[in-house]
Amino acid sequence: MKKCFYCQSTIPADAATCPMCGLDLTEVETSENRTQKVSRKEKHQFSFKKIMAPFLSYVRYMAAHVRTPFKTSYPNEVYSLHGYITVLLSALFSAGIVTRVVAALDQTYQFFISISILPALVVNFNGFEWFLKLSIFFFFNIIVLTGLSYLFKSKDKAQTATFNHWLAYFTSINTLYHVLLIVFFIVAMIVPIGLGVPALLFVCLYHLSYIISYIFTLENEKTSKKFYQALISLSVYYIVMALMGYLLIRI
């Protein structure tokens, strides 16, 4: 096996074209220790394909896991950063949906109190602050669950996956929901009031799906052991996330 010079994916040693990014590797020289070298001119040469390679690799990764969400060959995932990218995008899209809907509701509320003669509650809504705090909350919401799952799996002597590969596998289970989250994000940006409630409900459903995925990763355990692991670890998860939510509110 060797690494693709362009996207750093692990590929067969005799591959002339990278199966992930599709770029030609024949011009890339490989030394005895498989360290890839290119000419100085090629290093500094602008290449649109080289820039698009990581993006196309991630799109192929998503498409593959939409078709096969329960793929179990996670130690061989070709690009370990895919899990982090998925978590980051999920956090940003979720925070964007909530912030956009709340901002639209706040604008509607401000309009009604401006024409009302009744006393009204004054609310200072800061969209950027909401988006930043919610992004942090949603990001760690998935990371904490993945960490707890990996903690139990790492006790298995047959488990050889790193945390990066396990995160890629854990997030890939919900790839279809991740795609739908992007759709709801676009919808919330366009029609935040009319479709805001369904978008908010889907954000809750999306992050709830990771709890279901976490329980799924305990499938090889005995029923009683699985129950207590899920009970204890999910209790720890809710306590940690409640504390994080409280700290974000207080900051």
Give a yes or no: residue 93 inside a domain: yes
Which of 175-179, 201-205, 246-250 has the lowest average pLDDT? 246-250
Report the domain count for the chain. 2
The structure tokens listed for 219 are: 């499938």
Q: Tokens standing for 225?
A: 């052991």
73 falls within a domain: no
Higher pLDDT residue, 2 or 45? 2
Cα–Cα distance measured from residue 188 to residue 182, given in angstroms and rounded to the nearest whole number = 10
Pairwise pLDDT comparison (78 vs 185), residue with the higher score: 185
- Of the pLDDT bands very low, low, confident and very high (cuts 50, 70, 90), residue 120 is low
pLDDT tens digits for range 218-247: 766 566 677 777 777 788 888 888 888 888
- Is there a contact between 5 and 28 (Cβ–Cβ < 8 Å)? yes
pLDDT of residue 148: 86
- Counts for the chain of helices (H) and strands (E), in that order: 8, 4
- Three-class SS of 64-132: HHHHCCCCCCHHHCCCCCHHHHHHHHHHHHHHHHHHHHHHHHHHHHHHHHHHCCCCCCCCCCCHHHHHH
Amino acid at 128: F
- Whether residues 150 and 40 fall in one domain: no
For the ranges 12-16, 101-105, 198-202, which has the lowest average pLDDT? 12-16
Q: What does the alpha-carbon distance between residue 85 and residue 67 come to, in Å, rounded to a whole number?
A: 19
- The answer as to whether 75 is a domain residue is no
Residues 94 and 141 in one domain: yes
- For the cut 50, the answer to whether the pLDDT of residue 35 exceeds it is no
The predicted structure's pLDDT at residue 161 = 67
Domain annotation covers residue 74: no
Of 14, 43, 67, the residue at which a domain comes to its end is 67
Q: Does the global pTM surpass 0.75?
A: no
- Report the amino acid identity of residue 109: Y
| Range of 92-101, 119-128, 175-184 with top mean pLDDT | 92-101
